[in-house]
Amino acid sequence: MYLGVDGGGTKTAFTLVSDTGAIAGHYVDSTCYHIDVGMNTARDIIHRGIAEVFNQASIDKSALTYAFFGLPAFGEDSSTIQALQALPLGALDAGQYSCDNDMVNGWAAGFGGKDGINIVAGTGSIAYGKRKTLSARSGGWGDLFGDEGSAYWIGRQGLQAFSKMSDHRQPKSRLYTLVKEFFSVEEDLEISGIVLNQWQGQRSKIAELSKVVHAAALQDDAIAKQILSDAGQELANIVAACCDRLAYSPAEKVSISYSGGVFRAENLVFNAFRKTLQELIPHHDICPPMYSPDVGAAIYASLLNGTEISEKSLINLRIPHTSQA
């Protein structure tokens, strides 16, 4: 039995997988992001999820082979690493699990723990990959430093375009109208008050504005289309930087997977992403992830334990979808 836990900014998913590729337990709780909820609440969520999947499988911790916890912001502040590593203790013994950043789950989900690079573009953006003995990340610096190509970044670009249109620094387009309709305001400057005072600049709320940019682009708004195209290029640049850090040779084929809500913006982001990748990494294969992040975490748990789930069994766990590539 392998337990995979995918902690995110909005939810925490727990999946217990057997070595036959069967899901023995699955549970979803609220976010365990300690910066938002605190360490004590994060611990409660982790312990509750472990108990729930064990109960579904009718087992206790003695039947668990190994677990992997992909936790948001793990490793990004050395002062919290020890506390985060201790979150599962009590529900599990110290030798039964490992913790790392949730970006690892995305990579493991992309290729079942094989070499390659995964890029996640949701509220934020980050790429993580492994090649032989090397591992590397790129992006994931947060909204103040970057998060280029993310839903937050797209929403922020939309607000910047709106302010320029309002000031007559550039012509008003359909995007201007849709942003104003979204906020239901009479005066343009009221939007600044809402975003800065009422929302307190909350990332998730600003990320929601990416949907407004997308809607404008679907109505053939040139500025909105350019924002989404730029997002695709930025995401490709993040992947290319990760590829460079992994020291791929020009002759090697690079496996790339992608996930996150930004890539669901039809082909407006993906086409620019794929075109830029072709320029930066000509020799590559691209596809959506084979597995969900929580299943990816369970697969990684088996790899860490040195008792890999068989290829035949892994087929049962794959996500049914068709690649855009």
- Residue-wise pLDDT for 116-172, tens only, equals 999 999 888 999 999 999 999 999 888 889 899 999 999 999 999 999 999 999 999
What is the per-residue pLDDT for 203? Answer: 84
Residue 266 has a pLDDT of: 66
Q: Count CA within 13 A, CB hemisphere, residue 292.
A: 19
Positions of the chain with pLDDT under 50: 322-325
Residue 75 sits at φ, ψ, to 5 deg, of 85, -5
In degrees, rounded to 5, the angle at the alpha carbon of residue 9 between the alpha carbons of residues 4 and 12 is 30
Residue 44: per-residue pLDDT: 97
Closest among 303, 160, 302 to 223, alpha carbons compared: 160
What is the Cα–Cα distance from 74 to 103, expressed in whole angstroms? 10
Question: What per-residue confidence (pLDDT) applies to 325?
Answer: 42
Element (H, E) at 24: strand 23-30
CB 209 within 8 A of CB 158: yes
* 92 bridge partner residues: 89
Q: Where are the beta strands (DSSP E) in 31-157?
A: 66-71, 97-101, 116-121, 125-131, 134-139
pTM of the model: 0.87
- Nearest-Å Rg of the Cα atoms of the chain is 21
pLDDT score of 8:
80
Residue 318 Cα distances to 16, 70, 150, angstroms: 15, 19, 26
Q: Which CATH class is domain 2-112+290-315?
A: alpha beta
Instruction: Provide the pairing of β-strand 284-287 with 254-259.
Output: parallel
Q: Which amino acid is at 172?
A: K
- The segment(s) of the chain belonging to CATH 3.30.420.40 are 2-112+290-315, 113-289
- Phi–psi pair at 36, nearest 5 degrees: -85, -40
Degrees, nearest 5: CA angle 143-146-150: 75
Nearest to 37 by CA among 53, 27, 48, 51: 48
Domain 113-289 -> CATH class: alpha beta
Instruction: Give the Cα separation of 70 and 103 in Å (integer).
Output: 7
pLDDT tens sequence across 243-270: 999 999 888 999 999 988 898 876 899 9
